[in-house]
Amino acid sequence: MSKIETMIHGLAIGDFHPVRLMGIINLSRESFYNHSFFSKPEDISVRIQEMIDSGATIIDVGARSTAPGVAPISISEEKNRLIPVVKSITKDHECLISIDTQHAEIARECLEAGAHVINDISSFKTDAKMVDVIADFSAAVILMATEFRPGDALTVNTAIQVLKEAIESVEGRGLDPRNIIIDPGIGRWIPEKTANHNVHLINRLEELRILNKPILIGISRKSFIGDILGIPDPADRLEGTLISTAIAIYNGAHVIRTHDVKASRQMVKLSQYFRDLKIRD
């Protein structure tokens, strides 16, 4: 098994480094989990510092909800929510800044403001110009398994194929291959994607290693957990999140995107301990 290892803006990510925690800052009042929404600058700053103090090395900032059935906002509104916060983070906090957006115009302005990573859940399907922005800035990018619509890959084989195509498109523009992280797309992104599809992806996560990229997993409080446990409210899905994430780490996840950095810290450390022994054995 080949070793997966990379360095993104000074942060080492890979098999023999700590699993990295990515804290979620949600600027979208339309979010499926309203406890994660922040609007006041002082509250956002306090929350970011709490996450950093609890072990987050990356902060992922998003201003547009991608939950099924949510009415889209304009690019102008997304930009107005994001840019001031990005500028504030670069000034006040020591962390990598990831921007959760599918739009090249927004990505460009955020990178100009000091962001380090673009988290494009559509893998350039929403806005093909995103490839050029990533290449122009030599930015790091997170690519989610997307065939036609964000997160629509139902099997690990499909996820591998569409991620391979996205990787080739950005590497073909000259981006350093070490600046790419992959995401299998856990969640009910489309109506056809059931809890079993998500469990399948988590159980077979290790097969994504064939792409030789660090693997990010975003499980935090998602609906498949509620479907399995009969828990409709995302606020009550922390335990299910921690269990599912522990399995994902054991199966190879290198970065954990989470609303709950502090609650995840010990679970991440213990899960990685089990995985590291498996790798060495």
Which residues form the catalytic set? 222, 257
Dihedral sign for Cα 106, 111, 113, 117, please. Answer: positive
- Which residue do the tokens 């065939």 mark? 147
CA–CA dist 119, 182 (Å, integer): 10
Q: What is the Cα 252 distance to its own chain's centre? A: 15
Distances in whole angstroms, Cα of residue 136 to Cα of each of 104, 169, 190: 11, 14, 32
- Tokens 């213990």 — which residue? 270
| CA–CA gap between residue 14 and residue 131 (Å, rounded) | 24
Spatial CA neighbour of 247 closest among 200, 180, 189, 281: 200
Q: What's the first-to-final CA gap in the chain, in angstroms?
A: 12
